[in-house]
Amino acid sequence: MKKTKFGITKNGELAGRYRLENKAGLVVEVSDFGALVLAIRVPDRFGEIRDVVLGFDSLEEYYDTRTGFGAYVGRNCNRIADARVVIEGVEYWLDANNGVHNIHSGNDRSHTKSYEAAVGEREEARFVEFTRTSPHMEQGFPGNLEQKIRYTLTENNEFIIDYVMVSDRTTVVNPTNHSYFNLSGHNRGNVLQHELEVYSDGFLLTSKSLIPTGEIATVEGTPMDFRRKKMVGEDINADYLPLQMAGGYDHNYVFANDGQLKKMAKLHSPESGISMEVYSDLCGLQLCSASFLKDIKGKNGAVYQGSAGLCLETQFYPNACKEPTFPSSILTAGKVFRSRTIYRFLTE
């Protein structure tokens, strides 16, 4: 466990960079600024170390809300229709930062806040836990929300994200991590040749604004079907309306809302031999092919273009705080929200 200086925030606060490393040589670097994931370095089949997440060199660049590289996204990730939500009969207005809708809780993003940090070790695993209370009406949501985000690296090459949250008023809680993965290396072109599996039979249909309609469509016979391994880019340009509306993949796959940890996806780079499995106890997985990236100056001199990375975001469904047919992301006052996501790395 090592801590170094990362930079100075706009509020003049000193931000730290925390390095977790296991015996296999896998390294995860995170920060108490934004609870950001800054780097994940994985040995490939040749023994070369590759940083497999997109990012920036400096703290200042992480204020960018367009990309959200490595971001902890809270209180609510993804979209809320019409930038408003009704909770216990009270209407709350949010930032309309995605047309007339709200995305990733608006302009006052969680990844630009400073968090208290605590480090520790348990059962041959090292962790950093970030805590912060989001005050009542921050981002437009009610309640003082106590947030704990714990990042753990195990000797089994598991990068574990644990969320524990509680609010003094009923509110919306739907967190995720917004890392963009390129298992060939963050500076190695795009991920269209990566092989992907998503173990879901259905995905959410949306409007042109990518707001779910409430309908679940089967993946059978469509370009959305990743139940068997195929390249990310194999069908990405297919003549298929959901893909055309999103400009590639930006869709939520559905899973059982049973609170059980389940394997959702697997991503593999044939070039590096690095694979990543995704597990979560939540009911949704947002697959985003990041086709919108263009000329983004990233870390170590990299320039990121379309599909330079792939997001696999575990979460409740988009608009889950409003759509009555979806598992709800409304957290009752005093009730504790707990969730776990695991990204497990292998070399094949």
Catalytic residue set: 178, 313
- Write down the H helix ranges in the chain: 241-246
Q: Distance of alpha carbon 153 from its chain centroid, rounded?
A: 17
Q: Which of 219, 216, 212 is nearest to 320 (CA)?
A: 212
> Cα(92)–Cα(104) distance, rounded to whole angstroms?
15
Structure tokens at 212: 């779910």
Place of tokens 């139940």: 227
**Alpha carbons 333 and 21: distance in angstroms, whole number:** 37
Task: Please count the other Cβ atoms lying within 10 Å of the Cβ belonging to residue 115.
Answer: 22
What span, in angstroms and rounded, lies between the C-alpha atoms of 161 and 339? 8
Quote the CA–CA distance of 153 and 161 in Å, as a whole number: 9
